[in-house]
Structure 1
Amino acid sequence: MTGSLIFDPLVPWMVLAVLGAIVLAGTILAVARGLRGWALRGLAGLLVLLALSSPSYQEEDRAPLTDIVILAEDASASQKLSDRAAQTTDSADSLAAQIAARPNTEIRRVTVQDGEGDAGTALMTTIAEALAEEPRARVAGIIALSDGQVHDADRPVTLPAPLHILLSGRGTDWDRRLTVSNAPAFAIIGEPVTLTLRVDDMGTAPGGQTNAPLNISVDGAPPQRFTVPIGEDIDIPLTLPHGGRNVIQFVSPAVDGELTDRNNTALIQMNGVRDRLRVLLVSGEPHNGGRTWRNLLKSDSSVDLVHFTILRPPNKQDGVPVDELSLIAFPTRELFLEKIDDFDLIIFDRYKRRGILPAIYLENVVNYVEKGGAVLVAAGPDFASAQSIYRSPLKRIIPAEPTARVLEESYRPLVNDLGERHPVTADLPDGGDWGRWLRQIDVKRTSGSVVMEGIDERPLLVLDRVGEGRVALLASDHAWLWNRGYEGGGPQLELLRRLAHWMMKEPELEEEALTATATGQAMRIERRTLDETVPDVTITAPDGTQTNLPLNQTAPGKFETTFVGPDIGLYRLMNGEAFSVIGLGPAAPREFEQTIATTTVMEPVTSATNGGILRLENGLPSIRNVREGRPAAGRNWIGLTPRNAFEVRDVRLTPLMPGWLVLLLSSVLIVGAWLREGRR
Structure 2
Amino acid sequence: MTGTLVFDPLLPWIAIGALGGLAVLGVALALWRGLAGWGLRALAALVIVAALAQPSWQREERAPLDDIVLIVEDKSASQTLADRAGVTEDAATTLEEELAGRPNTQIRRIEVGDGEENSGTQLMTAVSEALAEEPPAQVAGILLLSDGRLHDLERAPDLPAPMHLLMTGQEDDWDRRLIVENAPAFAILDEPVTLTVRVEDEGAAPDVAQTTIDISVDGAEPQTFDIPIGQSFDLPITLPHGGLNVIQFTVPEAEGEITDRNNTALVQINGVRDRLRVLLVSGEPHAGGRTWRNLLKSDSSVDLVHFTILRPPEKQDGVPVNELSLIAFPTRELFLEKIEDFDLIIFDRYKRRGILPSIYLDNVRNYVEEGGAVMIAAGPDFASADSLARTPLGEVLPATPTARVIEEAFRPEITELGERHPVTSGLGTAEDWGRWLRQIDVTPTDSAEVVMSGTEGRPLLVLDRIGEGRVALMASDQAWLWSRGYEGGGPQLELLRRLAHWMMKEPELEEETLFAEPTGQRMRIVRRTLGEEVGPVTVTRPDGETETVTLEETSPGRFEAVYEGPEIGLYRLEEGEQEAVVGLGPAAPREFEQTIATASLLEPVLDTVRGGTARLENGLPDIREVSPGRPAAGRGWIGITPREAYETLNVTQVPALPAWLVLLLASGLILAAWLREGRR
Cα distance, 1:315 vs structure 2: 7.3
2:213 corresponds to which letter in structure 1? L
Give the whole-Å Cα distance in 2 for the aligned partners of 1:323 and 1:466: 42
Corresponding residue for residue 302 of structure 2: 303
Give the whole-Å Cα distance in 1 for the aligned partners of 2:205 and 2:475: 70
Give the whole-Å Cα distance in 1 for the aligned partners of 2:447 and 2:318: 40
Aligned pairs for 1:348-497 within 5 A: 348-431=347-430, 433-434=432-433, 435-497=435-497
Cα distance, 1:317 vs structure 2: 7.0
Cα distance, 1:275 vs structure 2: 4.3
Cα distance, 1:539 vs structure 2: 0.9
Q: Secondary structure at the match of 1:288?
A: coil
Map Cα deviations across residues 575-602 of structure 1 (whole Å, 9 max, x no partner): 1111112221136522222111101000
Cα distance, 1:326 vs structure 2: 8.0
Aligned pairs for 1:116-515 within 5 A: 116-207=116-207, 209-312=208-311, 316=315, 327-431=326-430, 433-434=432-433, 435-515=435-515
Q: Is the 8 A contact 2:189 2:238 kept in 1?
A: yes
Cα distance, 1:389 vs structure 2: 2.4
Corresponding residue for residue 27 of structure 2: 27
1:527 corresponds to which letter in structure 2? R
TM-score scaled by structure 2?
0.94
- Worse-matched range after superposition: 55-64 or 392-401: 392-401
Give the whole-Å Cα distance in 2 for the aligned partners of 1:416 and 1:127: 63
Q: Is the 8 A contact 1:362 1:392 kept in 2?
A: yes
Q: Secondary structure at the match of 2:417?
A: helix
Cα distance, 1:210 vs structure 2: 1.3
Map Cα deviations across residues 349-389 of structure 1 (whole Å, 9 max, x no partner): 22223332233332332333333321111223333344332
Over 3 Å counting, the alpha-carbon distance change for 1:292 and 1:51 in structure 2 is closer
Map Cα deviations across residues 110-159 of structure 1 (whole Å, 9 max, x no partner): 11122232221111111111111111101100111111011111224111
Q: Secondary structure at the match of 2:292?
A: helix
Aligned pairs for 1:492-641 within 5 A: 492-586=492-586, 588-641=588-641
Map Cα deviations across residues 209-229 of structure 1 (whole Å, 9 max, x no partner): 211211222222222221111
Corresponding residue for residue 73 of structure 2: 73
Corresponding residue for residue 649 of structure 1: 649
Q: Is the 8 A contact 1:91 1:620 kept in 2?
A: yes
Cα distance, 1:101 vs structure 2: 1.3
Over 3 Å counting, the alpha-carbon distance change for 1:234 and 1:638 in structure 2 is same
Give the whole-Å Cα distance in 1 for the aligned partners of 2:607 and 2:241: 54
1:289 corresponds to which letter in structure 2? G
Q: Secondary structure at the match of 2:351?
A: coil
Give the whole-Å Cα distance in 2 for the aligned partners of 1:472 and 1:322: 36
1:467 corresponds to which letter in structure 2? G
1:19 corresponds to which letter in structure 2? L
Give the whole-Å Cα distance in 2 for the aligned partners of 1:308 and 1:638: 86
Over 3 Å counting, the alpha-carbon distance change for 1:215 and 1:565 in structure 2 is same
Give the whole-Å Cα distance in 2 for the aligned partners of 1:364 and 1:215: 43
Q: Is the 8 A contact 2:30 2:38 kept in 1?
A: yes
Q: Secondary structure at the match of 2:279?
A: strand
Give the whole-Å Cα distance in 1 for the aligned partners of 2:198 and 2:348: 53
Over 3 Å counting, the alpha-carbon distance change for 1:56 and 1:365 in structure 2 is same
Q: What is the RMSD of the two structures over their aligned residues, measured on CA atoms? A: 2.4
Corresponding residue for residue 113 of structure 2: 113
TM-score scaled by structure 1?
0.94
Give the whole-Å Cα distance in 2 for the aligned partners of 1:321 and 1:518: 65
Q: Secondary structure at the match of 1:86?
A: helix
1:350 corresponds to which letter in structure 2? R
Q: Secondary structure at the match of 1:420?
A: coil
Aligned pairs for 1:81-120 within 5 A: 81-120=81-120
Map Cα deviations across residues 49-72 of structure 1 (whole Å, 9 max, x no partner): 222222222222211111000111
Q: Secondary structure at the match of 2:419?
A: helix
1:116 corresponds to which letter in structure 2? E
Over 3 Å counting, the alpha-carbon distance change for 1:507 and 1:171 in structure 2 is same
Cα distance, 1:183 vs structure 2: 2.3
Map Cα deviations across residues 411-464 of structure 1 (whole Å, 9 max, x no partner): 332221111100101121343543133221322314232212234433322212
Over 3 Å counting, the alpha-carbon distance change for 1:546 and 1:322 in structure 2 is farther
Map Cα deviations across residues 208-250 of structure 1 (whole Å, 9 max, x no partner): x211211222222222221111111123333444333222222
Give the whole-Å Cα distance in 1 for the aligned partners of 2:151 and 2:192: 35
Unmatched segments (≥5 aa) in structure 2:
none
Give the whole-Å Cα distance in 2 for the aligned partners of 1:323 and 1:533: 64
Over 3 Å counting, the alpha-carbon distance change for 1:76 and 1:326 in structure 2 is same
Over 3 Å counting, the alpha-carbon distance change for 1:30 and 1:326 in structure 2 is closer
Map Cα deviations across residues 383-407 of structure 1 (whole Å, 9 max, x no partner): 3344332333323422223344444
- Worse-matched range after superposition: 530-539 or 656-665: 656-665
Q: Is the 8 A contact 2:541 2:570 kept in 1?
A: yes
Corresponding residue for residue 54 of structure 2: 54
Cα distance, 1:290 vs structure 2: 2.6
Over 3 Å counting, the alpha-carbon distance change for 1:247 and 1:635 in structure 2 is same
Map Cα deviations across residues 25-81 of structure 1 (whole Å, 9 max, x no partner): 222222222223222221221122222222222222211111000111111121122
Give the whole-Å Cα distance in 2 for the aligned partners of 1:82 and 1:638: 26
Q: Is the 8 A contact 2:263 2:588 kept in 1?
A: no
Over 3 Å counting, the alpha-carbon distance change for 1:438 and 1:401 in structure 2 is closer
Cα distance, 1:538 vs structure 2: 0.8
1:145 corresponds to which letter in structure 2? L
Q: Secondary structure at the match of 1:151?
A: coil
Give the whole-Å Cα distance in 2 for the aligned partners of 1:384 and 1:110: 82
Q: Secondary structure at the match of 1:291?
A: helix
How many residues of Structure 1 are paired with residues of Structure 2 in the alignment? 679
Give the whole-Å Cα distance in 1 for the aligned partners of 2:611 and 2:424: 70
2:341 corresponds to which letter in structure 1? D
Give the whole-Å Cα distance in 2 for the aligned partners of 1:264 and 1:323: 70
2:490 corresponds to which letter in structure 1? G
Give the whole-Å Cα distance in 1 for the aligned partners of 2:437 and 2:654: 107
Over 3 Å counting, the alpha-carbon distance change for 1:483 and 1:322 in structure 2 is farther
Corresponding residue for residue 3 of structure 2: 3
1:459 corresponds to which letter in structure 2? P
Over 3 Å counting, the alpha-carbon distance change for 1:366 and 1:16 in structure 2 is same
Over 3 Å counting, the alpha-carbon distance change for 1:379 and 1:96 in structure 2 is same
Q: Secondary structure at the match of 1:494?
A: helix
Q: Secondary structure at the match of 1:662?
A: helix
Corresponding residue for residue 676 of structure 1: 676
**% of aligned pairs identical?**
66
1:629 corresponds to which letter in structure 2? G
Over 3 Å counting, the alpha-carbon distance change for 1:202 and 1:573 in structure 2 is same
Q: Is the 8 A contact 1:406 1:442 kept in 2?
A: no
Over 3 Å counting, the alpha-carbon distance change for 1:15 and 1:340 in structure 2 is same
Map Cα deviations across residues 634-670 of structure 1 (whole Å, 9 max, x no partner): 1121111001111122222222211222222223322
Give the whole-Å Cα distance in 2 for the aligned partners of 1:674 and 1:34: 14
